[in-house]
Every structure is written in C-alpha cells, then in structure tokens.
Amino acid sequence: MISKSSPIGVFDSGVGGISVLRVLKHDMPNEDYIFLGDSINAPYGEKSEERIKEMCDSNINFLFEHGAKAIVIACNTATSAAATYLREKYPETIIVGMEPAVKPAVDKAETAYPHVLVLATSATIHGERLHHLIGRFSENADIHAVAAPGIVPLVESGKENSRDLLDYLKDLLKPFRKTEDGGEGKLVDSVVLGCTHFPFAMKKIREALGYDVTFYDGAYGTSRETRRRLKEAELLNDRKSEGSIRLFSTAKGEDPTALADRLLNLPFDYSPEN
C-alpha cells in the first residue's frame, strides 16, 4: 500500500535522469526518492519503440517493488515511446514524463522573434511528439532541431567536461557559431535541452557555440507536474525533515552508482526561468 511517506520513483536510460532528480529534490526536499539508471541499455535513442517499452516496463516494476507512489520518466526518448503505453497499463499510478521546454524558450524570450536551438537524441528529434510541439510555436520563432546522440555516451562515461565532448559539439554546432569563429552565423538566443543527459553538458555547449545563450530544461515542468499530481492525490509528504535518495543502476562494475552519485552532488544552479 502506498502512502504519503512512500518514495517517488525516477528512472532514466542512464545517469541523465539525475538532472531531473536534482530539480525534484530542490522543489520537494522532504520527499524520499528512488532512482534507477538503466545504464546497461543506454542509449534508448538507438532502440526500437517496442524494446523501449519493454525496458521501461521493467524499470517501472523495479520501482514498484521498492514502494514507489509515483513514477517520473526522466527521459525524453522513453516518454515519447512508452508514456502512453505505461499509463494505459498502470491507470491507477501517477506517471509523469518529460517534454522539451520549447514553450518557455519561445514565451520567455527577450526578442520578438526568438531563435531557438533544440538539442535531443535522434529518436526524440524524429518522433511525432517533438514535431507537434515545435509546430505549435514555429510561427512565432525560428526553431532548429538538431540530433546530438554523441553527448549521451560521453556523459555516461563521466566525460561531461572533456575535450572529446567539446570537439564533438564544435563540429555539431558549426552552423550556429559566429562566422569569425569558423561557423555559419545562424546565431541562436536559447538552447532547449531535449535529453536529460544534456544539462551536464551545458558548459561545453556554451563553449562550443562561443557566446552566451539561455538554456531551457524540461525537468522544471516535470517537477511542477509531479508536485501537482501528488497534491491532487493527497500524496504529498507532509513531514518537515529532509528526505532520502536511494540510487540504483543496471550498470556493471564495483560501484555502479558512483557516477550517478557524483553527478547528483555537482554544483547545481537552479533556473527559475524554466
């Protein structure tokens, strides 16, 4: 039986979901959390939709076994491929997914006609969900959607601040760099982080572009929706003390959650504009 004191379950295709967990923890510090990173199967963006559904079903049952009162799908690819399926299979469970923060990037822009870069995995870029989302705002903004699959394996390898990542991004983002920096001059005002691994690459994304941009992260909307759904169901934990976090991973090795723990404890700048 679940109750107010039951934990919130969070899962991702790897350690990227830690970026979502950090926002959840900031917004609801008194809740307990269970995080499962399915790193052995990362990245999900290269898998078929049916395979993604199978892996998500396995992840959600692991979190159920640990008493989760709600599920946060901390993965844009998994949300796109499996959220509807999971909600239909578990209609009594609060299941909250991710949506790339295109709306706040357009609505909160300082320019009348903003130039927005959406970075995501290949699966998210080619999925109908993102196409529909961009279509809703394309009349009021210049929106570029770019697949950046190389970020995920580098973050999963603990190389979120590496030269390898910078070199990859400089090549990928060449169209959006200044012409004097060897780019094509299609400058953008903001970058939508359409994969939960990408917040850990923000420093290198900005460095690769060569100028400052505003980042928008869907984790903030996901956190607000999780809190709203829990309040509606009268399942918000009402204790005053800080909650706990338990980390699990499907990764192999002596300390499979070491990377997740390190990322969880990196300095974190909360971004209220999201």
Of 195, 202, 245, 251, the catalytic one is 195
Chain centroid offset of residue 37 CA: 12
C-alpha to C-alpha distance for 18 and 207, rounded to whole angstroms: 23
pLDDT in tens, 98-117: 999 999 999 998 889 999 99
56 is catalytic: no
Kindly list the strands in the beta sheet with 142-147, ordered across the sheet, starting from the edge strand earlier in the chain.
Answer: 142-147, 115-120, 190-193, 214-217
Residue 52: strand, helix, or coil: helix
Task: For 29-54, write each residue's pLDDT tens digit.
Answer: 999 999 999 999 988 878 889 999 99
Same topology, domains 8-98+219-264 and 102-217? Answer is yes
Query: What is the secondary structure of 151-183 as a DSSP string?
Result: HHHHHHTT-TTSHHHHHHHHHHTGGGS-GGGTS
| Average pLDDT of every residue of the chain | 95
Pick the CATH number of 102-217 from 3.40.50.1820, 3.50.50.60, 2.130.10.10, 3.40.50.1860: 3.40.50.1860
Q: Does the pTM of the predicted model rise above 0.75?
A: yes
| The architecture CATH gives domain 8-98+219-264 | 3-Layer(aba) Sandwich (3.40)
Residue 252 has pLDDT above 90, yes or no: no
Overall residue count recorded for the chain in this entry: 274
Between CA 64 and CA 70 the distance in angstroms is 9
Residues facing residue 215 across a β-bridge:
191
4 with 235: CB under 8 angstroms?
yes
Whole-number pLDDT of residue 106:
95
Give the pLDDT of residue 191: 98
Nearest-CA neighbor of 194 among 19, 60, 11, 8?
Answer: 19
Among candidate residues 157, 133, 131, the one with its CA nearest the CA of residue 43: 157
Domains in the chain: boundaries: 8-98+219-264, 102-217
The helix/strand/coil state of 200 is: helix
User: What's the mean pLDDT in 225-233?
Assistant: 98
In this prediction, residue 1 carries a pLDDT of 87
Given 55, 63, 75, 154, the catalytic residue: 75
**272 falls in which pLDDT band (50, 70, 90)?**
confident
- pLDDT over 90 at 63, yes or no: yes
Residues 268, 25 contacting (CB under 8 angstroms):
no
Is 75 one of the annotated active-site residues of the chain? yes
